[in-house]
Structure 1
Amino acid sequence: MIPFSLLDLAPVPDGSTVSDALANTLDLARHAEALGYRRYWLAEHHSMTGIASAATAVLIGRVAAETRTMRVGAGGIMLPNHAPLQVAEAFGTLATLFPGRIDLGLGRAPGTDMATARALRRYLAGADSFPQDVVELLGYLGDARPGATVRAVPGEGTQVPVWILGSSLFGAQLAAHLGLPYAFASHFAPTDLEAAIRVYRETFRPSVHLAAPHLMIAVNVFAADTDAEARRLRTSMQQAFVNLRTGRPGPLPRPVDDIAAVCDPAALAMADHALAITAVGAPHSVRAGIGAILDRYRPDEVILTGQIHDHAARLRSFTIAAEVLADLDVRPALAAG
């Protein structure tokens, strides 16, 4: 059985509140742990009325407190928005409170627009210094350094596992160079997936952090009791993606019976291309969809996501997905030979 995890964007559905969204996240996390999900990751986005996870480290702490054994972490923290020392202190604190359960995924994008990036007091140059910032952060989380004038307390010695997140060859190259695990954002940017996997695995350099490459890919899942209902659930994410890419972000839209009636054909085609790494349908269809994705890319882990308007339907979707994955026999590429 391949390890499977869950990426929760803490969506704020149309007609609900941020308070509702956060309560739904805690409820989903408890269910995910009971269903056997290995990790529960939350992502940093700012100034978006449809996503409630802006204070990512705060929410990670709350989720960790509501669960007992599942790993909880960031998928990810957008490092250009932060000083590495502050991230080390925050995640060092989390790791001290919840030993052995905290992950730190790092992204290079700001996760917002430029006006909001300026409001965060960080600037475009932050992306250019990403590799150096990652190395600095690793140093703060590592063993105590004799004579160091700057130390992360808490943080020092916690060895919080750091992942590089990416949707291009840049992240793959950096993760391989530093000997870190790599998570590819195939749930919304699949174009470079195969090339990134090849680069990461072929150029990986063993490190004190990791002896061999470890790849996780993200897959959208919309599962229901029937194919028709699952396709209907998916229309919320299709609309949200179109709205985001056309400059109209907002709460997660309600599902519709006919997506073509509410989205411009060209915009919908763009969204469907970006969201191509998706399994949708009744249990047998989801099994076939996930199975085909895993057979093709052979990751070491898979992380599932899927923005669904109705919370009960979202719980049901991730339940079906967990049952499917627990029954799939897919070996990672390195074990396949």
Structure 2
Amino acid sequence: MVALSILDIVPVPEGYTPGEALRRSLCLARKAEEWGYRRYWIAEHHNMIGAAGAATGTVVGYIAGGTQTIRVGAGGIMLPNHAPLVVAEQFGTLESLYPGRIDLGLGRAPGTDAITAQALRRDPARAGAFADEVLELQGFLAPSRVGQVVEAVPGAGLSLPLWILGSSDSGARTAATLGLPFAFASHFAPSGLLKALQVYRDEFQPSQQCREPYTLLGVNVVIADTNEEAEWQFTSIQQRFLNIVRGQPKRLPAPADMSSRWSKEEQLRVSEMLKYSFVGTLETVREKLAEFIDHTQPDELIVSATLFDADARLRSYEHLAQI
């Protein structure tokens, strides 16, 4: 049985505020808990008017505080944007408040554009030291040692699972070397998936946290009562990625006829990015997902359904839970 989880960018639809988007996400998380989803992750993005998860740790706390049992975490924290000590303290605090329910996924990308990365005081060289910074973070989360000068309080000695996020075989190799579970961003970067999985599984080194390889794969899923309705709701996701391709980030658009909205080249590029999108009725998606699972053999799927309509979003996840 492949477990199901949710990845949420906290989408801000046109005509809505970030506050409303955050409350919609809490509503979804509560329903996801009822429906049996394993975890609910928030993604770190900056300077994106269509995503309200920039203060990722704060949002994780908001979701965890409004739920009871579902695991909640960052999918992920872009570690080069932050000091490892601060991350250890923030997520150590969350783990102290909600013990046994917090995940910490780590990525190396900026989660934004180059100019905003400068505003974050991000040092580009730190991306090359990603593995070392993960080890530094692990050190702060480990039990305190005699003579240790700097400690994470809270944080030290807590059982806080770390994940490595990636969209290439580079992230896979880091996860394998450190013996950590690996989450691949196949919901928007599908081209490197199969190579990354092979690298991770071939090179995996067991660790105290993870004795065997564990893979979590991102997919887009939209389920509705008819294939036509699902395709219509999916156009919001297509428009979002079209805006990204054009370098024109906007709030999440309402569904629309796509025939005159993009060039053939733009349509091809968006379609390539959204290759692992499963759209249709419950039976249609069930069949397509089964083929994907057979091909990739994941341990878990983390699902994104960035839909404009809150009710359609809830219904899609409710349908998916039946699979």
TM over 0.5: yes
- Code of the aligned partner of 1:36: G
Equivalenced residues, count: 323
How far off its partner does 1:44 sit? Answer: 0.4
Q: Which residue of 2 aligns with 1:221?
A: 221
Match of 2:27 in 1: 27
Opposite residue 302 of structure 2, the aligned amino acid is I
Task: Give yes or no for the alignment of 1:148 onto 2:140.
Answer: no
Corresponding letter in the other structure for 1:261: S
Q: For residues 263 and 12 of structure 2, what CA distance do their matches in structure 1 show?
A: 24
**3-state SS in 2 of match to 1:209:** coil
Q: Secondary structure of 1:229's match?
A: helix
Aligned to 2:199: 199
Could you tell me which residue of structure 1 aligns to residue 293 of structure 2? 294
- TM-score by length of structure 2 reads 0.99
SS at match of 1:261: coil
- 1:82, CA displacement in angstroms? 0.3
Hey, what's the Cα distance between the residues in 1 that align with 2:236 and 2:264?
16
**In the TM superposition, what is the alpha-carbon distance from 1:176 to its structure 2 partner?**
0.4
Query: Partners in 2 of 1:143 and 1:259 — Cα distance?
Result: 54
Q: Quote the residue 1:10 is aligned against.
A: 10
**Distance in 2 of aligned mates of 1:149 and 1:255:** 55
Identity %: 51
How many angstroms apart in 2 are the aligned matches of 1:315 and 1:306? 9
Matches within 5 A, 1:211-250: 211-250=211-250
Q: Is the 8 A contact 1:278 1:289 kept in 2?
A: no
- For residue 145 of structure 1, report the CA deviation from its aligned partner: 1.8
C-alpha deviation, 1:124, in angstroms: 0.9
Residue identity matched to 1:311: A
SS at match of 2:164: strand
Per-residue displacement from partner, 1:55-103 (whole Å, max 9, x unpaired)?
0000100100111110000000001100000000000000000000000
Give CA-to-partner distance per residue, 1:284-313, whole Å, 9 cap, x none: 111111111111101011111121000000
Q: How does 1:12-91 map to 2 (within 5 A)?
A: 12-91=12-91
**Structure 2 residue identity aligned to 1:285:** T
RMSD: 0.8
TM-score normalized by the length of structure 1: 0.95
1:252-311 deviation per Cα after TM superposition (whole angstroms, max 9, x unaligned): 01101x312212221111011111111100111111111111111010111111210000
Give 1:123 shift. 1.9
CA distance in 2, matches of 1:177, 1:49: 36
- Name the aligned partner's letter for residue 23 of structure 2: A
Give the drift of 1:250. Answer: 0.8
Q: 1:270 matched to which residue of 2?
A: 269
Give a deviation string over 1:199-237, Cα, whole Å, max 9, x none: 101110011111111111011001100000000111111
The 2-side partners of 1:246 and 1:80 are apart by: 26
- Rounded Cα–Cα distance in structure 2 between residues aligned with 1:180 and 1:11: 29
Give the 3-state SS of the residue equivalent to 1:216 in structure 2. strand
Query: d(CA) in 2 for partners of 1:246 and 1:135?
Result: 37
Structure 2's unaligned 5+ residue stretches are none
Q: Distance in 1 between matches of 2:311 and 2:170?
A: 38
Contact 1:180-1:210 within 8 A present in 2 as well = yes
